[in-house]
Amino acid sequence: MGEKVGMWSQLAGVPLKQDYINVKGIRTRILEAGEGDPLIFVHGTGGHLEAYARNIGRLSEDFRVIAYDMVGHGYSDKPDRPYTIDYLSDHLVGLAEALGLQKFNLSGESLGGWVAAWTAAHYPDLVDKVILNTPGNITNKPEVMKKVKDSTISAVVEATYENVRSRLEWLFLDKSFVTDELVNIRYQIYTQREFKRAVYNIVCLQDWEVRKDYAWGPEWCGKIKCPTLLLWTDNDPTGTVDEAFILKSWIPSSQLYVISEAGHWPQWEKPGEFNDVHHRFLKEGRL
């Protein structure tokens, strides 16, 4: 069973700051810690920067760690328009510009992995190394798209602690990691007044007519030239390890590492291994 992880216990004693910055007119929440080469964490669909609470302390010992709420997510602004991959990527690049970063490392989970990969392909001069953490349904399985869409909308439009808990539990192999604190953090985010409108823009990529213009494929994945790590798990509900090998064949010289006994959030279920793999790959380019 997973330990009862308290959010502040993961960050206590870590020199950090939470702030809002203007990213091309989008008020964007960020959390920063550490010094050194920049490492930007990008969360998943309906997520928020707290997804990396178990990683910021360790990795900020060697990197300038930046976690943020993507446009339309968390406590960042929520303009009324579809949050497509190019739009989310442009927001990420704008964030880096606002922070004065010339080059940076990226680690994206689920939707964040998709955004990170798209950014590495389309802004190759900006991305040093990229880690794609359980990047999520690269083969566009309709049942996974429906599950993500329906459960996310339900957790927001019919916001109860039970619905939010159910949405979070889907991410974990060991459901005991879904504490009351984690549920409450997401419940507070989902019950913001503007979220009931924003959620439909958040899940737009789960509709094929929108998704098809950004779907994973060798045409654009082949443009990723920076060192790339595919970080998979053996119990990811969005895609099997077999799909990791498909993505590996599309991205030149990419490496694959599989974390055992974890679901869609290995950064929470296996933080020690997750952090060590990040450190080795980003510092040494190997596993």
Predicted confidence at residue 2, as pLDDT, reads: 52
Predicted confidence at residue 247, as pLDDT, reads: 97
Give the pLDDT confidence of 153-204 residue by residue, as tens digits: 999 999 999 999 999 999 999 999 999 999 999 999 999 999 999 999 999 9
Contacts of 85 (CB under 8 A, 6+ apart): 114, 115, 118, 205, 214
Residues in the chain: 287
Predicted confidence at residue 285, as pLDDT, reads: 79
What structural domains and CATH numbers belong to the chain?
Answer: 7-284 (3.40.50.1820)
Predicted confidence at residue 224, as pLDDT, reads: 97
Give the pLDDT confidence of 33-71 residue by residue, as tens digits: 999 999 999 999 999 999 999 999 999 999 999 999 999
Contacts of 148 (CB under 8 A, 6+ apart): 45, 137, 203, 206, 238
Give the SS3 label for residue 276. helix
CA-to-CA separations, 283 to 96, 205, 221, 251, 272, in angstroms, rounded: 20, 33, 23, 20, 16
Average per-residue pLDDT for the chain: 95
User: Across the strands, what pairs with 256?
Assistant: 230
**264-276 mean pLDDT:** 97
Q: Does the pLDDT at position 271 exceed 60?
A: yes
Tokens at 171, concatenated? 């991410």
Give the pLDDT confidence of 1-25 residue by residue, as tens digits: 455 677 778 888 889 999 999 999 9
